[in-house]
Amino acid sequence: MALDKDEVATRVLAIAERLLEEGGSAQLQARTIAREAGVSVGSIYNLFGDLADLHRAVNMTLLDRLGAAGAEAMRDMQARGVVRPRERLIALANAYIAFVERHAGAWSALLAFNRGPAAGSHPSWYTERLDTLFAIIARVLDDGGYGLDPVRRDLAARALWSSVHGIVTSGYVGAGRGAARDEIRAQVDILVECFTAGLEAIRDGKAEAR
């Protein structure tokens, strides 16, 4: 049987993502994927290297979609004339929350993957995708007129990203689903409020803590 490589790869990726969504990397078994895709185990390895490479390929599609969700949120704000960094950062955080809710299992598997042994050797196309996400936040900070030099602006963008990420991933502890979402939104709100007010105060030389 002649196989269309691209078509098979797309099918294998979709199956792999569903397995990751359902049960994390423990579910990512070559034999299961091969059976569901109707191809041999060998074709999967030919297409993706090993299972870590396949997981990384799924992660890449997730990061691409998260980047697209961020870009869409920015376009939407542009259209509605939302320019204040505080509102923009909260809208971006909300886009992230919605994405994590939609892909809870696969996103959790991505985080576990990034903490695992394979993470040390991320190829450049992987870290470039993370940089694309940070760049969206960096642009908001630039537009905010905080007068940050590029190094400090990028550091602030990564710190905001990690902080929102921490709020979203630890916000579910000890709370029901609805209460958890309210708690997450309230934490994001006070974080962004204080962070942007702090950037302003530091720019204006008003911060005692400097």
Give the residues lining the site for a copy of itself (CB under 8 A).
26, 84-86, 108, 111-112, 114-115, 119-120, 122, 126-127, 130, 152, 155-156, 158-159, 161-167, 169-174, 176, 183, 186-188, 190-191, 193-202, 204, 206-210
Q: Indicate the residue among 3 and 105 with the shorter CB distance to a copy of itself.
A: 105
Cβ at position 120, least distance to a copy of itself in Å: 7
Residue 207 beta carbon to a copy of itself: minimum distance, rounded to whole angstroms:
4
Closest CB to a copy of itself among residues 99, 161: 161
Is the CB of 2 or the CB of 178 nearer to a copy of itself? 178
Return the SS3 of 192. Answer: helix
Angle at which helices 150-170 and 177-203 pack, to 10 degrees? 160
Closest distance between a copy of itself and the C-beta of residue 184, in Å? 9
Query: Residue 181 corresponds to which amino acid?
Result: R
CB of 5 to a copy of itself, least distance (A): 29
Tokens 């609805």, located at residue = 178
CA 163 to chain centre: 12
* Tokens (6 digits) for 134: 């940070």
55 Cβ contact list (under 8 Å, min separation 6): 16, 20, 25, 28, 109, 113, 118
- Contact assessment for residue 44 and residue 34, using Cβ atoms and an 8 Å cutoff: yes
Minimum Å distance from CB 202 to a copy of itself? Answer: 5
Q: Of 51 and 201, which CB lies nearer to a copy of itself in the complex structure?
A: 201
- CB pairs under 8 A, 24+ apart, for 35-41? 37/8, 37/11, 37/12, 39/3, 39/8, 39/12
CB of 11 to a copy of itself, least distance (A): 29
Which residue number, 8 or 135, has a Cβ lying nearer to a copy of itself? 135
- CA-nearest of 81, 70, 69, 97 to 189 is 97
